[in-house]
A and B are shown apart, each in its own frame.
Chain A
């Protein structure tokens, strides 16, 4: 109910029928997203239950042997550990590179750039956020993978290429939110520091970044959220092998890239095991969201 509607309601003493209907309509809109997340969760849980029941937690989540059998799904092995590892490793390495880059860019925009240049950088980052992931993946496939191959003598496919692609995808989120956090700091902080004889850089790393710590952390976590679910661009550069590896230069898979690679031919328990992968992905994403809630609550205290 809008403030205006509320006022009208007070003036008339009661809401007329049309106002009431609008209220129900808005309530339905609001409920829809809550309903959607619940349905998605329940649906994925239901679809993955057969695999969990048949294979057991150990063979499904803690084994790295993924040997599906397309013609006779029951005969295959469906251990997803390699892909959980791939997802976590690529996301974390992407953040290791992306967090300093994004926060650095935000500090540049907020503190060092002349307004005209800051504006150009800001617009550029907005554009980057709007590029469809398949285009970034293609760019990774045609430029990045051969480049890594030439540099290292490997195939070029693997977690390194995937992480770098994810950096590009997460950078707009991290930069925009970090810049927003820095901008919302009270100007008195900077004034106080400068008046103490601090240089711009000293002010940034001794006062502004510590003061913005929680907000910056949230920016990075939301960037992780972007990275952890990215599918297309990762599938194009990670090599899509089934092996468990910690080497950034060997082909492997993430949960998302494995689902999209296998979903066309999966039936029975094979299909259910893919849903179990989706369940793990969903839980990982929720852990990120919950950690943001916790950090925000901490900040309010």
Chain B
């Protein structure tokens, strides 16, 4: 791919099943460090399923099973006995619908640090302020930190969720269609924010919005279910520019030019 960037994650021959149903099949792709990788494709192509394999959120679903490997810093996270709790602290996640806890803005951001056992008030204050600043929310909420996070607007809630993730200083942040439930102006803010966060974090974004993938990502993977009932497969993966201007697979071209999906 790009020789200058090293890979933070390597997905190797990954398949995932919900019971007997195979949701994705034999997917291999590398997630380069400190870049944004976008996963695109029509609804039901398995892009959300794939991103949830990267912090083992699928463990919560009963009857789900994974084949293949996801390597994070040279270690397969599906090795038996792997520290899943620690994994999720290293690989944070922002969800489709903003999901702040019914707690104050402050407590939402302090949630992760508190889990890590940080009790010192001053240190928590610092982390909260720092995380909210990095999530471009500080100026809007600094006067109301004790207000419920759920009273914020949708876009603010999503940035609060980003701040909550940043507060535990993960290495990777996964975004599962983070802007599908918020308005265009708030979307713009979050896209700017992501570009900003690239300095410190490796990011993966699932999006159904191709313009968004083109705007924010460095690399793009296109997933597709060929025939209904088939598992989702990786059609093409590469530099975002190449994928959008000169895709090598005809199906990719038809999708990005809006002929289906």
Interface residues of A (CB under 8 A from B): 115, 186, 188-199, 202, 206-207, 210-211
Contact = CB atoms under 8 A, between A and B. Distances in A.
Contacts of B97: 188
Given A188-B95, A191-B95, A196-B112, 20 more contacts: A115-B62, A189-B102, A190-B60, A191-B99, A192-B95, A192-B99, A192-B100, A192-B164, A194-B57, A195-B55, A195-B92, A195-B93, A195-B95, A196-B89, A198-B85, A198-B111, A199-B85, A202-B115, A206-B111, A211-B101
Given A191-B57, A191-B60, A192-B95, A197 B112 contact: yes
A216 to B, nearest CB: 14
Q: Which of A188, A192, A198, A199 has the most CB of B within 10 A?
A: A192
B168 interface: yes
B244 to A, nearest CB: 30
5 contacts: A186-B99, A189-B99, A193-B101, A194-B88, A198-B115
Nearest to B93: A195
Interface residues of B, number: 26
Contacts of A207: 101
A199 B84 CA distance: 10
Contacts of A197: 85-89, 112, 115, 168
Interface string B45-70: 00000000001010010100000000
A193 B164 CA distance: 10
Contacts of B112: 196-197
B115 A195 contact: no
Q: What does DSSP make chain A's interface, helix, strand, loop or mixed?
A: helix
B95 A196 contact: no
Nearest to A203: B115
Contacts of A193: 101, 111
Contacts of A198: 85, 111, 115
B111 A195 contact: no
Q: Which of B92, B100, B101 has the most CB of A within 10 A?
A: B101
A18 B82 CA distance: 70
Contacts of A196: 88-89, 92, 111-112, 115, 164-165, 168
A301 to B, nearest CB: 11
Interface in B70-109: 85-89, 92-93, 95, 97, 99-103
Interface string B121-156: 000000000000000000000000000000000000
Interface in B148-203: 161, 164-165, 168
A189 B164 CA distance: 13
Interface in B9-43: none
A145 B85 CA distance: 48
Contacts of B102: 189, 210-211
